[in-house]
Structure 1
């Protein structure tokens, strides 16, 4: 009987030790390709503009909506690649804006977005597509980067809010 009690106690200690280890770890769930693209572009914009913008939730949602409204499942545009809200001084560009290239980014291309050369070229293409000169860029007071994955491609849109003269 003593042996049975010792075995039960030992078994109970083992179960309790395993229970302590269950769900341990501080790893966050892996980010989706779209979330990785949003993060990479936000960092790239800040580096390019030498700024410290946060990815504004309202503008990010506007950018995501622009993609959902304008990009079909096969990657073709239903409408233009730029959305302008004059009243709220918001402009949103869906990328790539050059329609001669294949639309959307693969997961591998999103992984490359951490490369400063790639992201600098991307931000420069935003400036060209939006016709923003240096003075216009200085008027940006909020950005939102939204990304949506359709099929195996991720589509990115950048929305910017511009300061207005009072």
Structure 2
């Protein structure tokens, strides 16, 4: 489980770095309307990738927004800095990752991406980040199965926060141990 969690943390961190978006609300202040649009676009993409129909989980969203606030403004993030994990790690694990720019030439430099509300016609979730989260969840579940445990995907969530005219995004999941 520890190895799986570590891998999930790295992958989720990458995803969260990719999901970093920016928005310009004109005054450079928070833009909750744009944040909600970004969250919705990413949640739709996650549900499509996972073939689910989850609502945005409040606990994951709160964890994501906290992580964004802690890491906003970073030009690059290490694998460890991209993820944040919560839960008791025995029965429930929640993990979020900042969305990142996959075009970065350095393997340990995850440059956050962002949208500017005034310049964004349509919000589109970053495909690579969504697929990275899907891969993380699948590897976590596969590793647990090899160890005789069953992990069920019980929630997906997205948090977006506009800071200084930039809307950052973190996406995440919740796995629950359903082994009797």
The interval holding the TM-score normalised by the smaller chain is 0.5 to 0.7
For the pair 1:33 / 2:34, whether they are aligned, the reply is yes
Q: Kindly indicate whether residue 134 of structure 2 is the aligned counterpart of residue 127 of structure 1.
A: yes
Confirm or deny that 1:148 pairs with 2:161.
yes
User: Taking structure 1 as reference, are residues 101 and 58 closer, same or farther at Cα in structure 2, changes over 3 Å only?
Assistant: closer
1:109 positional shift: 5.8
Q: Take 1:95 and 1:80, find their aligned partners in 2: how far apart are those partners? A: 12
User: C-alpha root-mean-square deviation of aligned residues, in Å?
Assistant: 3.1
* SS of residue matched to 1:64: helix
Q: CA deviation at 1:152?
A: 2.9
1:135 offset after TM fit, Å? 7.0
Could you say which residue in structure 2 is the equivalent of 1:49? 50
Matched positions, count: 130
Cα pair distance change 1:35/1:120, threshold 3 Å: same
The DSSP-based 3-state class of the residue aligned with 1:80 is: helix
Given the superposition, is the C-alpha separation of residues 75 and 147 from structure 1 closer, same or farther in structure 2, using an over 3 Å criterion?
A: farther
Larger radius of gyration: 1
- Structure 1 residues 111 and 151, CA, compared in 2 at 3 Å: closer, same or farther? farther
Q: Aligned partners of 2:72 and 2:51: how far apart in 1?
A: 34
Aligned to 2:94: 90
Q: Distance in 2 between matches of 1:132 and 1:110?
A: 31
Partner of 1:111: 122
CA distance in structure 1 between the aligned counterparts of 2:59 and 2:87, rounded to whole angstroms: 16
Greater RCO, CA 8 A, separation 6+: 2
Q: CA shift at 1:139, angstroms? A: 2.4
Please, what TM-score do these two structures have when normalized by structure 1? 0.63
> In structure 2, do the counterparts of structure 1 residues 135 and 147 end up closer, same or farther at CA, with 3 Å as the change threshold?
same
Does the 8 A contact of 2:158 with 2:170 survive in 1?
Answer: yes
